[in-house]
Amino acid sequence: MPTPIDLNAFFHVDVNKDSRKYTSFVTHEGQYQFLKVPFGLCNSPAVFQRYINIIFRPLINDGIVLPYLDDIIILSSSFEEGIKRFERVLSIASEYGLEISFNKSHFLKKRIEFLVHVVEDGKIFPSTLKTKAVLNFPKPANLKQIHSFLGLT
């Protein structure tokens, strides 16, 4: 019974003091630097993913969670196990000041879509939107179109 949760977690990662000058921006009120990693910087997603991976490392290693940026899927085989695992995730999130967006989270569903994949009965497969896109793609008529279809051009 997977549980996808959404974290309101950006702006929780500190920018290294020596790197703050690289986040500088100017407004009519003065010059500022970010103290926390913001959205929009080219390295923000990688820095944030590393942060989430460190925080949730024990649960990742135990096969309890699969994090992708601010989306985390909690894996469980029963309702009771799902509740216990959610409590562990909630405890860690609370310890690090991360907030869960409850209106974007779905609890203990038999079937969910997560990152264009479907998780159901312990199996992961592509969402029908993605498979339809491939199945409905026009049949390549020449080598150039085959390369295009494969993403080689």
Q: Which domains does the chain have, with CATH numbers?
A: 2-109 (3.30.70.270), 110-152 (no CATH)
Separation of alpha carbons 132 and 151, rounded Å: 18
Average pLDDT over residues 34-47: 85
Q: pLDDT tens digits, residue range 3-39?
A: 888 888 767 888 889 989 998 999 999 999 999 888 8
The residue type of 130 is: K
> Which three-class secondary structure state does DSSP give residue 49?
helix
Render pLDDT for 102-140 as a digit per residue (tens, 0 to 9): 888 877 777 878 778 888 877 788 888 888 888 888 888
Structure tokens given for 49: 């993913």
Top-confidence residue, 2 or 27: 27
Hey, what amino acid is at 64?
Answer: I
Q: Residue 103: what pLDDT? A: 84
Q: Which residue type is seen at 32? A: Y
Q: What is the pTM of this model?
A: 0.71
The 99-100 sheet, strands edge to edge = 65-68, 71-74, 3-8, 99-100
Name the strand (E) or helix (H) holding 54. helix 44-55
CA 28/CA 143 separation, integer angstroms: 55
